[in-house]
Chains A and B, each alone.
Chain A
Amino acid sequence: MTVTAPAPAPASESVVPPARRKRRYTADQVSAGRVAWRMAAGLVVLLVFILPYTIMFFGSVKTKPEIRSVNPTYFPTEWHWENYITMWSTPETPLPQNLISTIVIAVCATLLVLLVALPAAYYTARFRFPGRMVFLFLVIVTQMLQPAVLTSGLFRQFITLGISDTWLAMILVNAAFNLSFAVWIMHSFFAGVPREVDEAAQIDGAGRVAVLFRINLPLVWPGIVTAIVFTFVACWNEFAASLVILSTAGNQPLSVALTKFVGQYETSWQYVFGVSVVAIIPVVVLFMLIEKRLVGGLTAGSVK
């Protein structure tokens, strides 16, 4: 149970006590019937979860009149793939710029949250200090405020600071309002790591930062991944503050851009649906990448 600094062996393997080794499933442990049952259940879950988005996707390749047809068909009568091309150059909104804005804001805000929340979550889970509980509660209080009435104060604040209508403003807003859940999620996972793990490392002369990065992080990967996805998704879809703070069309994220297709008496639903489909893809891709990390993080801790 010691960490020898130059050891090339995976850190997690050497510090994880046997009791924390992960379960591994092997096909031979379960009967074929049970696997079939799981697959059936999995299929039902799959279908239920993609159903609304299938409707969304079908809508995105329909013509404007067909979407509002009173005799709806289950499948589009004609597939207008060109909607996915024309939506990038509509007069209503500069969609390519909106996509870039969304990416920049969401990525920067998520990184900022991670930078700020990770140390706070780790420290509050590991160390005792006066005001610890107050801090944790204060953090969560930010989530209880109603976004709808906060926007005017936020707007005024950023006007005063001279950064209204900038990405920076929205990065700060998103980071600040999503900090709390990230702190809490990661806190709960750090708290689940047995203290002996830290102690063992510290006895071996590892510094506190090293203990956090080398010892704890690999163990709480699932929690960090959850926090990252949670934060990223929230930033990606933020609407209320962006609406008032970002007034230049090119700075606005996709969530605001979508509303530009809504006219007084008619709406270009095919674009609304198309943009929504496009907006889902990066998040799903992010998740695919990160899910591998999640699985990787888990298997790293297992001993064969």
Chain B
Amino acid sequence: MSSTVETSSTTDGAATSRPVRGAGGTESRPRRGAGTTGKDLLHALPWIGPALILIFGVVLYPAVVMFYNSTRHISLSGLDQGSVGLDNYVAVFSFPYFWPILGRTVVWVVAVVALTVLISLGLAQLLDKAFPGRQLVRLAVIIPWAASVVMTTLVVYYGLEPYFGIINTFLVDLGLVSTPEGYGWTKHADTAFAWSIVVAVFVSLPFTTYTILAGLQTIPAEGLEAAKMDGAGPARTYFGIVLPQLRGALSVAILINIINVFNSLPILKTMTGSIPGYDADTVMTLIFKYIQNQHRIDVASALSVVAFLIVLVIVAVYVRAVKPMKEV
């Protein structure tokens, strides 16, 4: 079996440092320089083909339907009544609360993701250290992940209700709330939104913490020991050695969180659902209101396309800046 050294461009981190390819084994093919890119793709197909089939087979059609519906007039009962061009988009952008809602969406994503990452970094450090009962704590941290987001939100929502809520009762018992029936946390746009952020962070912590924890496991001990011998303090060790090593895991975790948090509906829907007006809405809950209350699938589709493009841009910028798909 032969192997050939490949010359490759330097723009691609994961691949450039690969001098040898397909040496030995049944799958190996002798390489003949860098010009055989088509062949490269052909070789890749058995590995990535199934993923492509699954994605195109299942996701493509509904995605096309979404784009198509956004240019149609769809009756309340769901019948397509012809093209309206970009009218639905006009409806989206001329909605007087659209821009405040978009701004709030940005606040939502930034606040939730930032808090999640910061707290997760701390949590992962703790769970990485040895102490009696660590496994139990690790298990507890997984629970919000295991439980459905809807249920976690519902429990918090009921805890916060005046009269019934145990959290409200607790605050009244502590003397922090003066009205005997508690305070309407979920009935005011600002407090309901703040609590929604708390819940969103809470349910995002397990995944993020575990990704970081998994990343921590791959950090070589020698580097840390060397740093210790050099007399580096814990802070310098952490920022100088640990954090850079976490880059791969962390950047993907952040990317996934950005997308998930942007697309998150159940938390805000439940926590702010009874509040009149649009002072606690994000793009997601607005889409929900178009579908659920106004039965406007066409406008909802247009808004979804807009939301899709927004995430696409955010992710593109993020990927370009952070390059999470490259080698650590």
Contact = CB atoms under 8 A, between A and B. Distances in A.
A207 B312 contact: no
A53 B155 contact: yes
Interface stretch (A84-92, A93-101, A141-149): A141-149
A198 to B, nearest CB: 8
Nearest to B151: A276
A151 to B, nearest CB: 8
Interface string A147-185: 111111110110000000000000011011101010111
Interface stretch (B33-41, B92-100, B189-197): B33-41
B278 interface: no
A9 interface: no
B328 interface: yes
A222 B149 contact: no
A35 B134 CA distance: 11
Given A154-B62, A199-B19, A279-B147, A20 B218 contact: yes
Interface string B123-134: 100100111111
B219 interface: yes
A42 B131 contact: yes
Given A52-B155, A52-B156, A130-B38, A148 B65 contact: no
A120 B50 contact: yes
A140 B48 contact: no
B115 interface: no
A45 B137 contact: yes
A293 interface: no
Interface in A259-282: 272-273, 276, 279-280
Interface in A163-217: 172-173, 175-177, 179, 181, 183-185, 187-189, 191-192, 195, 199, 202-211
B308 A127 contact: no
Contact of A70 (B61, B146, B164): B164
Given A154-B62, A208-B27, A183 B43 contact: no
Q: Is the interface of B mostly helix, strand, loop or mixed?
A: helix
A21 B221 contact: yes
Contact of A179 (B54, B251, B304): B54
A222 B217 contact: yes
A287 B142 contact: yes
B25 A149 contact: no
A191 B217 CA distance: 15
Nearest to A158: B58
A49 B144 contact: yes
A226 interface: yes
B245 to A, nearest CB: 9
B79 interface: no
Interface in B149-188: 149-152, 154-156, 158-159, 163-166, 169-170, 181
Nearest to A42: B137
A45 B25 contact: no
Contacts of B76: none
B4 to A, nearest CB: 12
Interface in B49-72: 50-52, 54-55, 57-59, 61-66, 69
Contacts of A272: 151, 154
B297 A152 contact: yes
Contacts of B102: none
A27 B63 contact: no
Interface centre among B22, B154, B284 (most CB of A within 10 A): B154
B328 A119 contact: no
A92 B260 CA distance: 32
B141 interface: yes
Interface in A71-110: 72, 74
11 contacts: A67-B164, A129-B41, A133-B325, A148-B291, A150-B65, A157-B62, A177-B58, A207-B28, A272-B151, A276-B147, A287-B146
- Nearest 5 CB-CB pairs, A to B? A207-B25, A153-B62, A128-B15, A153-B65, A222-B214
